[in-house]
Chain A
């Protein structure tokens, strides 16, 4: 299916995370994003180099600036289970605003049309790297990489779109 694009309404879906009390929570994307300006960005894999050393830190550093421009949620999604996402989030102790959400069964990634086959790297099927700016569920900017490269999906790219 065609990947999500500007003008689309983002599909609803369920993502998971472990809260501060280590309780498993699931959250609907529509509930999180309705009536708000949110940034949704995805990485091919937790603990992988580009994701860990560039993509995520960029959003953590620019979180305050994004918030000052009206962004209420910054959501990081990956096809990893919530145990892994929680462990990965812990490696960013300075993070205040970015929420690490697990799309463990890949259903949301599939709904967005952004699956990326990394089986030959032993990663199975993951998500393409992307960053979306969404306002009241409507996609305003869709910066989707063709795979895992890092050229258009950074926090700076989203800031330019705001």
Chain B
């Protein structure tokens, strides 16, 4: 769609200042489809952020969680979703992942171009392949409310192979240190999640493909399938 190219151009040239405590300037390529990294993927070559101290406390800022890493246990946080009977349910990260092999992938925003056109449908299309590799559930997370997640799932005709989870208040995203601050953008997205895809076994992160912002270079279904 021409819109995607237009938005890609608009955002690819912006610089993003993340929260002051991190003191990082990094280019934001929110909605650009970057070229894929080489076909062989390994954790050591992933563009992961530097290790940070566990929490940073400032007098005026809330504590900020370190970015999650391979080997970490997922923090406790609650997510929500509409079940098949249209009832709003809440679920903890623990309930989602204990005694299971789970794929968790996150998008910066429901209905945004890269997410809608590639990331989510990609995982839905590969659901059978993931199941064949022993994955129990595939969960999509975004900092959007559950109503929006439900509408997005319907819009893309995603079946029940992917569970659409709302991190409406951004609690889970914050707890794993994957926030993406887009508040300065004119488009009004607020604080969202960086794009990522992870494999979690019994609550522990086994694989983590984390993008710098909303880039789409290492976190696709194909990338994860190759790494499992």
> B-contacting residues of A (Cβ < 8 Å)?
16, 18, 21-24, 26, 45-48, 80-84, 86-88, 91, 102-106, 119, 121-124
Contact = CB atoms under 8 A, between A and B. Distances in A.
A84 B144 contact: yes
Q: Which of B145, B166, B190 has the most CB of A within 10 A?
A: B145
Contacts of A91: 151
Nearest to A106: B190
A26 B186 contact: yes
B10 interface: yes
Given A16-B186, A81-B109, A81-B187, A23 B169 contact: no
Interface in B202-219: none
Contact of B145 (A22, A24, A123): A123
Nearest to A25: B186
Contacts of B173: none
B69 interface: no
A90 to B, nearest CB: 8
Contacts of A119: 168-169
B109 A47 contact: no
Q: Which of B10, B152, B186 has the most CB of A within 10 A?
A: B186
Contacts of B170: 124
Interface SS, A side: loop
Contacts of B111: 83-84, 86-87
Interface string B1-43: 1110011001000000000000000000000000000000000
Contact of A103 (B150, B168, B188): B188
B187 A16 contact: yes
Contact of B2 (A16, A22, A46): A22
Interface string B145-159: 111101110010000
A156 B3 CA distance: 37
Given A21-B3, A24-B10, A124-B168, A84 B186 contact: no
Contacts of B166: 122
A149 B41 CA distance: 52
B153 to A, nearest CB: 11
A46 B148 CA distance: 7
A84 B113 CA distance: 11
B150 A24 contact: no
A102 to B, nearest CB: 6
Contact of A83 (B2, B109, B190): B109
